[in-house]
Amino acid sequence: MQSSIPEEQIRTVAYRLWEEAGCPEGQAEEFWERARQELGVNGPTNNARAIEPAEELDARDTPDGA
């Protein structure tokens, strides 16, 4: 198993898996881990937020959250 796959590649696979599952909310960590497993990555990461939909991230960046 590899441990040096770029985070961007994990993010891309996680996003694909999320889309294939119908874009469910609240499961970012699960899709991140599934992507890591699919790519053969070992070791812990804390980057599950990276696969959340852009609309949610944009809403968090605004002062009123909308």
Domain boundaries of the chain, sorted by first residue: 7-61
Hey, what long-range contacts does 53-58 have (CB within 8 A, 24 or more apart)? 53/23
The Cβ of residue 15 has, within 10 Å, a number of other Cβ atoms equal to 18
Band (63; pLDDT cuts 50, 70, 90): low
Query: Cα–Cα–Cα angle for 27, 58, 6, nearest 5°?
Result: 60
Tens of pLDDT along 6-27? 899 999 999 999 999 999 999 9
**Higher per-residue pLDDT: 47 or 33:** 33
pLDDT at 60: 53
Residue type, 22: G
pLDDT at 41: 82
